[in-house]
Structure 1
Amino acid sequence: MTVESTPLNTMKNIARYATLTSAAGIFVLISGCATGPQANPRDPLEPMNRQIFGFNEVVDNAVVKPVAKAYTYVTPSLVRQGVTNFFSNLGDVWSTANNALQFKGRAAAESWMRFSINTVFGIGGVFDLATDMGLERHKEDFGQTLGVWGVPSGPYLVLPLLGPSTVRDTAALPVDMQGNALNAVPHSGDRDRLTGLNLINIRANLLRAGAVLDEAALDKYSFTRDFYLQVRRSEVYDGNPPDLPVPDAAK
């Protein structure tokens, strides 16, 4: 099987299709698709979101999960950890930029130091020496930056193939894609193969959590939504979010 193998090509094509369809949620939102007055205020488009969630589940079960399982089966855990470290190290470049945009000088400096140390001494980031040296990872994206700037998250959205999001995070997605350090890879074929490998590796790292979710969640959609919104809110406020306002009906 060559480097242009079926699993990598499949993941590459999924990534391309996801890029083309990532704005679908906002398009439907703008077109006036809404539910009744009893709708969850955080998820007014729940019927549409559930349909897209179901579609994503079908694609994941039919294509993405089997590829991730095969990857896990044939790739030693030490190698998978190195792949994870490599892509996390590239992510530190974009985290540096977003920490700077959020005026977090120390976090920006530490993110750049992490990238420099791991790239030079960790063989391109395969080994995470910076963490062993006590340099904490400050992972940030442009969606979080918009949140720090005061942009509200807006309604919850489920994007085709890409999964959980919000209006704010979806609007930030093109900027995050442009900020991906893989764009610096000059050859498009190499760039696509690395993107496919990253997608496979990310899904493989989520296999165990996904199995637990399948067994424990009574409503997988609601659990995924609530977990995503809670995590994103915590990330915007660096783990210390303010209390949510109490709805008038609950007072």
Structure 2
Amino acid sequence: MERKTQSRKMPLRAVTFAVIAAVLAGCGGKPPAPGEIWDPYEAQNRRVHALNTKIDSLALRRASLPGPVGRAASNAANNLGLPAAVVNSLLQAEGEHAVRNSLRFVINSTIGLAGVFDPAGAMGVQEASTDFGATLARWGWGEGAYVELPVLGPSTERDALGRVVDLVIDPLNFTLRGTEAQVAAGVKMAGRIGDRQRYGDTIDSVLYDSADSYAQTRLYYLQSRRHELGQTAAEDSYDPYEDPYHE
């Protein structure tokens, strides 16, 4: 049994390291200048974007959860992401953020009934949102080229690598097993539906009301991400309802 368990783990590790190596190799190219959009994979990205838009129109856009259920699902999904945020806060030497995220996770996982409710927010304990992509940025890594990932959506080479590493370092991946892991996956999916409803107007504007939804999605993601990481000048602020490709 032990040999079987090890043999099952090895392919996952091999795939993880292969993805990391591929992204590291890709990040070795010309980095974008500040404020620049670097998209050497545009042809492939547009094909993936067409697929993602179709998935959104056929599934996520049509999915519907009652308002309170959608909010509860989003709350619970965000709560499941807090342990990984704690790890990244420590990697960024942000001790205060690590303590805040830990306290928020404990409060919402207990009093908030596994994160369905947000008593921590009512107490003023707000999330310090972060991920391994942000950790890499703190360590001085450039964002690399823009990429659009199947199902997951817009990203950069740095953030794509961050997504992989977040799966590896997330403490919940080592503690949740069997039915618990399946429930957690279901909660995250429901949370995504809840977020789609919450930001539906903005998403619809970008995907369905713009002259070039791919270019609009790319611009919106890069500007939002750079602003989140403190890498966008005030004059570069972006209005998602302003379509620069509209004639």
The answer on whether the counterparts of 1:85 and 1:127 sit within 8 Å (CA) in structure 2 is yes
Match of 1:202 in 2: 192
Letter in 1 for 2:49: F
CA distance in 2 between counterparts of 1:105 and 1:53 reads: 38
Count, aligned residues: 207
Match of 1:44 in 2: 40
Match of 1:231 in 2: 224
Would you identify which runs of 4 or more consecutive aligned residues in structure 1 move more than 4 Å? Answer: none
Match of 1:56 in 2: 52
Measured after TM superposition, the shift of residue 143 of structure 1 is 0.5
- CA distance 1:111–1:168, change in 2 (3 Å): same
Measured after TM superposition, the shift of residue 81 of structure 1 is 1.6
Query: Unpaired segments of 5 or more residues in structure 1?
Result: 1-18, 31-39, 245-251
Match of 1:88 in 2: 78
SS in 1 for 2:158: helix
CA distance in 2 between counterparts of 1:214 and 1:242 reads: 26
With normalisation by structure 2, the TM-score equals 0.72
- CA distance 1:130–1:145, change in 2 (3 Å): same
- CA distance 1:111–1:223, change in 2 (3 Å): same
Measured after TM superposition, the shift of residue 150 of structure 1 is 0.4
SS in 2 for 1:158: strand
The answer on whether the counterparts of 2:82 and 2:102 sit within 8 Å (CA) in structure 1 is yes
Match of 1:134 in 2: 124
- CA distance 1:146–1:202, change in 2 (3 Å): same
Query: Unpaired segments of 5 or more residues in structure 2?
Result: 1-14, 27-35, 236-247
Measured after TM superposition, the shift of residue 181 of structure 1 is 5.2
Q: How high is the sequence identity, in percent, across the aligned residues?
A: 31
Match of 1:36 in 2: none
Match of 2:99 in 1: 109
The answer on whether the counterparts of 2:75 and 2:116 sit within 8 Å (CA) in structure 1 is yes
Q: For 1:3-42, what aligned pairs fall within 5 Å after superposition?
A: 41-42=37-38
Q: CA RMSD in A?
A: 3.0
- CA distance 1:205–1:123, change in 2 (3 Å): same
The answer on whether the counterparts of 2:144 and 2:158 sit within 8 Å (CA) in structure 1 is yes
Measured after TM superposition, the shift of residue 216 of structure 1 is 3.4
Q: Among 172, 178, 194, which residue is 1:188 paired with?
A: 178
The answer on whether the counterparts of 1:233 and 1:241 sit within 8 Å (CA) in structure 2 is yes
With normalisation by structure 1, the TM-score equals 0.71
Matching of residue 211 in structure 1 with residue 239 in structure 2: no
CA distance in 1 between counterparts of 2:218 and 2:206 reads: 13
